[in-house]
Chain A
Amino acid sequence: MVDQAIRDAGTRKVSQARQRILDRLRQGLANPKLPWPPADAPPLTPGEHMHVATLRAEDAGLEQRFAAELEKLHGTSDIADSMVAARMFTVRKILEWLDDTGPRRVLAWSELNSWIPGLEESLFDRDVEVVVPESLDNPDTRGDLQEVRVGVTGVEVAFAATGSVLLKSTPGQSRSASLLPLNHIALIPGTLLLPNVETWLEQHQQDGSLGHAIRNSANLTLVSGPSKSADIESKLTLGVHGPKELHAVLYPAAD
C-alpha cells in the first residue's frame, strides 16, 4: 500500500515535469517572431542531405579506397581476390597476433564459416580455439575472456569513403568481440561494401526499411579504425579502451 502510494507520487511528479517542460517550450514557440532565422525551416527531405564524404574520380575501386582510408586511421587491410585467399589472409593475421604466451583463442561472432567457408576448420587445424559465448553475464566468463587477444567479426555493411564498418548486435554477434580484445579483424565481403553511409541510408529509405535498420537491434556501432586518443598534448595514442589494431579482410562475395 505504502509502496504503491510512493510510486504514485513519483509518477505524478514525473508527469508534472514532463508537462511543465513541454508547456514552456510550446509557450516559447508560440511567439510569432522567433529570434532565429530561418523562422519556419522545412525539414530536410530524404535524398536532400548532402553526401559528406564521397568517392573520387581517381578511386580505382571501393576496396582500394576503403584500404587507403583505413590506413589513414592507423588500421590495416588485405584485399583478397578469392575466398581461398581471404581465408589464408585471415588465418595468417590471427596467427601473427596470437603471441606465444597468451591463450590460442579468438573471441568471435557465431558461424564464421558463413563469412568465409572453411575458416573455422583452418583455425582448428592450427590449434586456435574459436570462442563464441552465448552470454557474457557471468563474471568468470568475462574474466576469462580478458586474456583473449583477438576478436573476429563480420560486418553489417562497410563504407569505402571513410574506411568504416557498421556492426550490429544480434544473438551470435557480440559487441564484445570487436571491443574487448587488443586486436580486431573484420571480414568484409564485396557485397557489403558501399561507397559511403549516405548510399546505405538512401537504399533503406527507398525500400521503406530505414527505421527498422536502425532500431531492430539494440545496438549499431560504426567503427572507423582502432581505438585512439589525443587527450595528452594532442599526441596520438592507440588502444585506449577498444582494440589497438584493426585489420580488414576484403574479398569477393563468391569465387
Chain B
Amino acid sequence: MRSRIDIEAPFKTRVKQAVADPQLADTLTRATLHLKEQKRLSLEELEAQRLRDQMRQMKAHTLRNLPELLEQFERNVAMNGGQVHWAEDADEANRIIGELAERHDVRKVVKSKSMATEEIHLNHHLEAKGITCVETDLGEYIIQLAAEIPSHIVAPVIHKRIDEISDLFADKLSMPRTLDPQALCARARVELRQEFLSADMGISGCNFAIADTGTVCIVTNEGNGRMVSTLPRVYVAVMGIEKLVPTPQDAFLQYQSLTRSATGQRVTVYLSMTSGPRRLEDVDGPEEFHVVLMDNGRSRMLADGYGESLMCIRCGACLNVCPVYRQISGHGYGNTYSGPIGAVISPLLSEEMARNKDLPYASTLCGACRDACPVQIDLPKLLLNLRHDLVSGRNMPGAERRAMQGFAGVASRPAAYQSAARVARTGTRLLSGFGDRNLRRLPPPLHHWTRHRDFPPMAKQSFREWWTKRSGTQGPAK
C-alpha cells in the first residue's frame, strides 16, 4: 500500500492525510518509543552529559574553523589519491556525479543510505540519463520498490507494517507472502547481491569525514555501505560541508555519540573508513575515489544566524521524542529531512523557503528535542527565530497576521484584556456545554484557528479572580 500522504500537497493537506490514517500514529509511536528507550538504556551506562558537552565543544570548534578544515580535508583526500569536487547547489552536485558516471560509462549505480543524495534527488537525475540506481539499505530498498520517500532519518521505512512489506515483495518480486522478517531479508540479500557485483559505481553519503587524514566514514549495520565502497570500480561519497571532524579521536567520539543516540547501540556493526582508492596490489576496493562537498544552502544558514543547525549529526533522536512527528510522520514534513531538525533546515536549504514556510509551525515548542539532542542544539529557539524571520518577511497569511495584531493590541492593555478574557471564558464554556471537552470548532471568524487544532474551554475564573478570592488582596503583581 502506498503512503497516504501526498508529498507534493500543501503542508496542511499533508497533516490532514496523516491524521486521517488511523494506524499511522500507532505504528510511529511504537517504533519511536522503542528507539527512545534503546537510547536511554545505552546512555545510562556512561557519563551522558559529559559526552554531550564534548560533542558540543567539538562541533562548535569545527564550525568556527570550517573553511580551514575543508581546505585541509581537500589536501588530504588528494594526497590519498582521491579527488574532491565542490558543489554550490543540488544542480551542480548532480551535474558533477552525472559527468563522473558518463566518463566511466556507468550503467548501474548501487547506493547505500544517504540523506544528502535524497536531498538533491540524485536518483531522479541519474535515471534521466538512463542510469539505473539501486538503493541497497533494506529499508531504502523497500522504499524504492514502493516508489516512496523515506519517513525517518535513520529508519526510512518506520511507517510500514510487515504485512504491507510482504504485499510489496509479492507484487514486485513475486515472492510468496510471509510475515517472517528473516525470510524477507534473505530474499533482499539475494536480489541485492547481484546488483552489488554488477554495478559500475557505488555512491554513499558520509556520516563524518576526518580533516586530518582525508578519510570518509560511513556507519551501517547491514554492510551495504561496505559493499558500495568496495565492489564497484568507482566510489563516490556525497557529503554536506558540515560533516567534517578535525581528528580521528573526534571521529570516534562522534561515532559513539551517533550510534547511541540513533538506535541505542554501543557500536553499529560496521564503521567503514575510506582513505582514497585501493592501494597498489590491494586485492579489492575501488579504482577511483571521489568526494562531492556540497553546500546547497549551508553556508547561507551560517551567515543568516542558523549556524547551530549545522552541528546536527543526523541521529534522528529529535524525531523520536517529538509529539508532532508521531502524529504526522516523516512524510507530513514533505521533505527529505523530517522532525524538529527537518522543520528548521528544510526551509533554509537551497531555495525551499516558499514551499516550506509552514514547517517552523510544525512544533509545539515543548523542548523535548533540545533535551534529546546529543549536540544540544537549541531547536525550539531556532524554530522561533525562523518564525520571526518568516513573519517579518511578511510571509504570514493575512487573516492570521491581523488576528495576531489584534491580540497584541488587547493583551497590552490590562482593562481591555480582562474584559476580553471574561467574554472568552463565558463563550468557550457555553460552546463546550459547560464541560471540559475541547472545542473542535470556534464560530467565524475564529474557525480559522480551529480548522487545524482543538481549542480548550477556558477555566471558570481567571487567575486574578482566584487569587483575590483566596487571599483577599488584589493579586501579586501590579
A-side residues, CB < 8 A to B, are: 14, 17-18, 20-22, 24-29, 31, 34-44, 46, 48-50, 52-54, 69, 73, 133-136, 139, 142-143, 146, 162-164, 169-176, 179, 197-198, 201, 205, 210-211, 214-215, 217-243
Query: Could you say which of A18, A34, A39, A229 contacts B86, with CB atoms under 8 Å apart?
Result: A18
B25 at the interface (CB under 8 A from A): no
Q: Write out, one digit per residue, whether chain B residues 245-273 have a CB within 8 A of any chain A CB (1) or not (0).
A: 01111101100110000010011111111
For B1-32 the 0/1 string (1 means CB < 8 A from A) is 00000000000000000000000000000110
A214 touches B275 (CB 8 A): yes
Complex formed: what's the CA distance from A26 to B246 in Å? 18
Main secondary structure of the interface of B (DSSP, over half): helix
Is the beta-carbon distance between B222 and A164 smaller than 8 angstroms? no
Q: Which of B61-113 contact A (CB under 8 A)?
A: 61, 63-64, 66-67, 70-71, 76, 80, 85-88, 92
**Is B369 an interface residue when CB atoms closer than 8 A count as contact?**
no
Q: Name the one of B30, B193, B283 contacting A133, with C-beta atoms under 8 angstroms.
A: B283
Cα A142 to Cα B284 with chains together (Å): 11
Give complex CA distance A69, B266 in Å.
Answer: 10
Q: B184 touches which one: A142, A205, A232 (CB < 8 A)?
A: A232
Is B269 touching A20 in the complex (CB atoms < 8 A)?
no
A90 to B371, alpha carbons, bound, how many Å? 48
With A179-B230, A218-B276: A34-B307 Cβ-Cβ less than 8 Å: yes
Asked if B248 contacts A201 (CB within 8 A), the reply is yes
- C-alpha spacing A226/B182, complex, angstroms: 14
Instruction: Knowing A21-B88, A233-B161 are in contact, say whether A44-B57 is a contact too (CB < 8 A).
Output: yes
For the complex, give the distance between the alpha carbons of A176 and B223 in Å.
11
> Does A171 lie within 8 Å of B267, measured CB to CB?
no
B156, B214, B269 interface centre (most CB from chain A within 10 Å): B269
Closest to B229 in A: A219
Spell out B's residues near A (CB within 8 Å): 30-31, 34-35, 46-47, 50-51, 54, 56-58, 60-61, 63-64, 66-67, 70-71, 76, 80, 85-88, 92, 136-139, 142, 155-157, 161-162, 165, 181-182, 184-186, 188-189, 192-193, 196-197, 210, 212-215, 221-224, 226-227, 229-230, 241, 246-250, 252-253, 256-257, 263, 266-285, 289, 293, 295, 299-300, 302-303, 305, 307-308, 311
Question: A215 and B307: CB pair below 8 A?
Answer: no
- Tell me the interface secondary structure of chain A in the complex: loop
Q: Are B246 and A29 in contact (CB under 8 A)?
A: no
Task: Provide the residues of chain A in CB contact with B280, threshold 8 Å.
Answer: 171
Q: Are A223 and B269 in contact (CB under 8 A)?
A: yes
Q: Provide the bound-state CA to CA distance between A241 and B269, in Å.
A: 11
Other A-B contacts than A52-B46, A224-B269, 20 sampled, CB-CB below 8 A, are: A21-B293, A24-B295, A38-B56, A50-B253, A135-B284, A162-B266, A169-B278, A169-B285, A170-B279, A215-B213, A219-B230, A222-B271, A224-B266, A227-B221, A227-B223, A232-B138, A232-B139, A232-B157, A232-B162, A240-B221
Is A28 touching B223 in the complex (CB atoms < 8 A)? no
Nearest CB on B from A241, distance (A): 4
Q: Shortest distance in angstroms between A226's beta carbon and chain B's nearest beta carbon?
A: 7
Contact A176 B284 (CB under 8 A): yes
Look across to chain B and name the residue whose beta carbon is closest to the beta carbon of A136. B284
